[in-house]
A and B are shown apart, each in its own frame.
Chain A
Amino acid sequence: MTGHLASIGRVWLRNAWVYRDRWYYGLLPNFFEPVFYLLGMGVGLGFYVSTGGAFDGDYLSFIIPGLIAAAAMNGASFETTYNVFVKLHFGKIYDATIATPVGIEDVTLGEATWAITRAVIYGGVFLLVTLAFGTAFDARLLGALAAIALVGFAFSALGLAFTSVVPTIDLFSYYFTLFLTPSFLFSDIFFPVAERFPPVLATVAEFTPLYRSVQLMRGTMQNGGEGVLLDAGYLLAFGTAFLAFAVWRMRKRMIQ
Chain B
Amino acid sequence: MGVSAMTTPTPEAISTPTVVRATNLSKRYGSFTAVDGVTFEVHQGEVLGLLGPNGAGKSTTMRMLYQVTPPSGGELELFGMRSGQDARRIKGRLGVVPQIDNLDEELSVRDNLRITARYHGLTPAESRRKAEELLAFAELDAKATVEVRALSGGMKRRLTLARGLVADPDLVILDEPTTGLDPQVRLTLWDKMDDLKRRGATLLMSTHYMDEAERLCDRLLIMDGGRIVAEGTPRGLIHASLPPFVVEGRLIGGDDTPFRALAVEEARDFVRSGDRVSVFVRDGADALARVLEGGADADRTFVRPSNLEDLFLRLTGHGLRE
Nearest opposing residue in chain B for A4, CB measure = B88
Question: B121 contacts which chain A residues (CB < 8 A)?
Answer: 6, 101
The one of A97, A101, A255 in contact with B69, judged by C-beta atoms closer than 8 angstroms, is: A255
B115 contacts the other chain (CB 8 A): yes
**Across the two chains, which residue of chain B brings its CB closest to A3?**
B88
Determine the chain A residues whose CB is within 8 A of the CB of B281 once the complex forms.
none
Whether A96 lies near B107 (C-beta < 8 A) is no
Binary flags per residue of B109-126, CB closer than 8 Å to A gives 1, else 0:
001000110111100000
B69 and A91 contacting across the interface, CB-CB below 8 Å: no
Of A6, A93, A98, which one neighbours B104 at CB under 8 angstroms?
Answer: A93
- CA distance in complex: A234, B310 (Å): 68
- Bound together, the chains give a CA A92 to CA B96 distance in angstroms of 14
Q: Which of A17, A92, A254 contacts B111 (CB 8 A)?
A: A17
Q: Cβ of A17: which chain B residues have Cβ within 8 Å of it? A: 107, 111, 115
* Nearest-CB residue, chain B, relative to A93: B104
Judge whether B115 and A101 touch: CB under 8 Å: no
B87, CB-defined interface residue at 8 Å: yes
* Nearest CB on B from A76, distance (A): 19
Residue in chain B with minimal CB distance to A256:
B69
Question: Assuming the A-B contacts A96-B98, A101-B88, are A91 and B118 also in contact, with contact meaning beta carbons closer than 8 angstroms in the complex?
Answer: no
Residues of chain A within 8 A (CB-CB) of B96 are: 96, 99
- Interface code B258-291, partner A: CB below 8 Å = 1, 0 otherwise? 0000000000000000000000000000000000
Q: Which residue of A lies closest to B90 (CB)?
A: A101
> 8 Å CB contacts to A: which residues of B76-130?
87-89, 91-92, 94, 96, 98, 100, 102-107, 111, 115-116, 118-121
Known: A99-B94, A101-B88. A13 touches B115 (CB 8 A): yes
| Residues A91 and B119 in contact in the complex (CB < 8 Å), given A101-B91, A103-B88, A256-B69 | no
Interface hits, A69-121 → B, CB 8 Å: 91-93, 95-103
**Given A3-B88, A99-B91, A10–B118 Cβ distance below 8 Å?**
yes
A18: which B residues are within 8 A, CB to CB?
106-107
Question: What residues of chain A lie closer than 8 Å to B150, measured between beta carbons?
Answer: none
The answer to whether A163 has its CB under 8 Å from any CB of chain B is: no
Q: With a CB–CB cut-off of 8 A, which chain B residues contact A98?
A: 68
Q: Given A99-B91, A100-B91, A101-B88: A10 and B119 within 8 A (CB)?
A: yes
How many whole Å from B70's CB to the nearest CB in chain A?
Answer: 7
Instruction: Tell me the dominant secondary structure on chain A's binding face.
Output: helix
Interface residue? B312 (CB, 8 A): no
B102 & A96 in contact (Cβ 8 Å cutoff): yes
B98→A99 contact, CB < 8 A:
yes
- CB nearest neighbor in B for A96: B102
Asked if A215 is at the interface (CB within 8 A of a chain B CB), the reply is: no
Distance of A7 Cα from B91 Cα, bound (Å): 13
B94 to chain A: closest residue by CB: A99
CB contacts (< 8 Å) of A256 on chain B: these are 29, 69-70
Q: Which residues of A contact B111 (CB under 8 A)?
A: 17
Chain A residue numbers with a CB within 8 Å of B103 are 96
CA of A147 to CA of B67 in the docked complex: distance in angstroms? 39
A residues within 8 A CB of B107?
Answer: 14, 17-18
A10 touches B115 (CB 8 A): yes
Distance (whole angstroms) from the CB of A25 to the closest CB of chain B: 13
Q: A7-B119, A95-B98 are in contact. Are A254 and B88 (CB under 8 A)?
A: no
- Give every chain B residue within 8 A of A7 (Cβ-Cβ): 119
Considering the complex, give the chain A residue whose CB is closest to the CB of B111.
A17
Q: Which 9 A-B pairs have the closest CB atoms?
A: A100-B119, A92-B102, A99-B96, A96-B102, A101-B92, A18-B106, A101-B88, A102-B119, A10-B118
Extra pairs beyond A91-B105, A99-B66, A99-B91 (17, CB < 8 Å)? A3-B88, A6-B121, A7-B119, A10-B115, A10-B119, A14-B104, A91-B106, A92-B100, A92-B102, A93-B104, A96-B98, A98-B68, A99-B96, A100-B92, A100-B167, A255-B69, A256-B70
In the complex, 16 of the A-B residue pairs with CB atoms within 8 angstroms, ordered by the A residue number, are A3-B88, A10-B115, A10-B119, A13-B115, A13-B118, A14-B107, A17-B107, A18-B106, A93-B104, A96-B98, A96-B116, A99-B96, A101-B89, A101-B92, A101-B121, A255-B68
